[in-house]
Amino acid sequence: MNNHPQPVRYSAADHGGRRLLRLGVAAVACGFVVSACAPQRAPQAAPPPPEVAVVTVAAQRVVLTTELPGRASPYRIAEIRPQVNGLIQKRLFAEGGDVEAGQALYQIDPAPFQAALNNARAALGRAEASLPAIAARAERFRDLVADKAVSQQNLDDAAAALRQTEADIQFYKATLENARINLGYTRVVAPISGRIGSSAVTDGAIVTAYQPVPLATIQQLDPIYVDVPQSTNELLRLQRRLADGRMAQDANKPDAVRLILEDGTPYPHEGTLQFRDISVDRSTGAVTLRMVFPNPQGVLLPGMFVRTAVKEGVNEKGILVPQPAVMRDPKGNPFSYVVDAQGLAQPRPLKLDRAIGSNWLVSEGLAPGDKVIVEGLQRVRPGSPVRLPMPPAKAN
């Protein structure tokens, strides 16, 4: 009997498993060692409140204006037409230049009108020459009738001849005056001062009295009109604001109007609102505002498009906030962040009236003394604390 212990034999699989077990135990041990040797991290501190800049809103006097598109039109316009038939002998003006009232523009051939004047003058002279003899004959017949030397019929004929001669004298005087007027019409003059355009006829053209096509057109450009359409909706809104007391008329210059040219530059001269039309255009639903502007340099030309700043009135308690302080929610409603008494940023819904320069005029949502955040809005969250770097500045 063999009492020696039998050797334990391991297969290759058992050998590999034991090796993996030893490696796992070693890895765990190393992990504990590294964990024990690593330095401990301190808990992170909360970030400080974001720094923001605010403005303190205050009620102030705000002049309310509305920008409306308009078109310039001449202050006066005269279409030159001949008043007699004839031949144009000479054009007496420079096209596109300035002319004065009474200045000669065209000369129509005066020869036939001069002849008509001479004929009327001669006929008048003949009638006036026969008047004394006819008057004396009628006077003699009046004396002879009393003595029965002539019949009453002879006296009546003499008196009728006298009256006829006197009527002929009046007729020839009127004919002479008409001939004199027609002769004067051969010299076509400017009825108004202004700038004249191109001539529709040249020397040698035949013209007729009061023809439909004008010879030329004169436009007075200083001063000049600017006609502006205003929608009835805007007009009713303005009337409601005046009635509610939210706006008052400016007593200093209630009708003052400013002008902005097509290139965006302001016009240097201030105009005046002359009148508002009393009827509404059916095609546009607007009324026309007519303004008058001085135009000494001739900058404004008829037909030019401009923008007018029409003064509506004055808001004595207007609240202005910078435009960067106003944001929009996903629905497009405007709001601003206001710092409350606890130093928290609170969103405040707003109702905006209009933009005035770089500010918004706020009609509802803010009160004097509110601190509105204008800088640092990217880091602000509703109800979160904020930090002011300095005392709040006053709004401009």
Going residue by residue through the chain (396 aa), what tens digit of pLDDT does each one get?
444 444 334 344 444 444 444 544 444 444 444 444 445 555 566 678 888 888 999 998 888 777 888 999 999 999 999 999 999 999 999 999 999 999 999 999 999 999 999 999 999 999 999 888 888 888 887 778 777 777 888 878 888 988 998 999 999 999 999 999 999 999 999 999 999 999 999 999 999 999 999 999 999 999 999 998 888 777 777 666 656 555 555 555 656 788 999 888 999 998 888 877 778 878 888 888 888 999 998 899 999 999 988 777 788 888 999 999 999 999 999 999 999 888 899 999 999 988 888 899 998 899 999 999 998 888 888 988 988 875 555 555
**Distance, C-alpha 278 to centroid of its chain:** 19
The values of phi and psi at residue 142, to 5°, are: -65, -35
Task: Specify burial of residue 277 (Cβ count, 10 A radius: 0-12, 13-18, 19+).
Answer: middle
Contact 271, 255 (CB under 8 A): no
Contacts of 247 (CB under 8 A, 6+ apart): 64, 238, 241, 312, 313, 314, 315
Q: What is the pLDDT of residue 252?
A: 59
Q: What is the pLDDT of residue 48?
A: 81
Q: What is the pLDDT of residue 38?
A: 47
Checking DSSP bridges between strand 371-375 and strand 327-328, what pairing results, if any? unpaired
Kindly list the structural domains of the chain, giving each domain's residue range(s) and its CATH number in brackets, ordered by start: 53-62+317-394 (2.40.420.20), 64-75+220-314 (2.40.30.170), 82-108+187-213 (2.40.50.100), 110-185 (1.10.287.470)
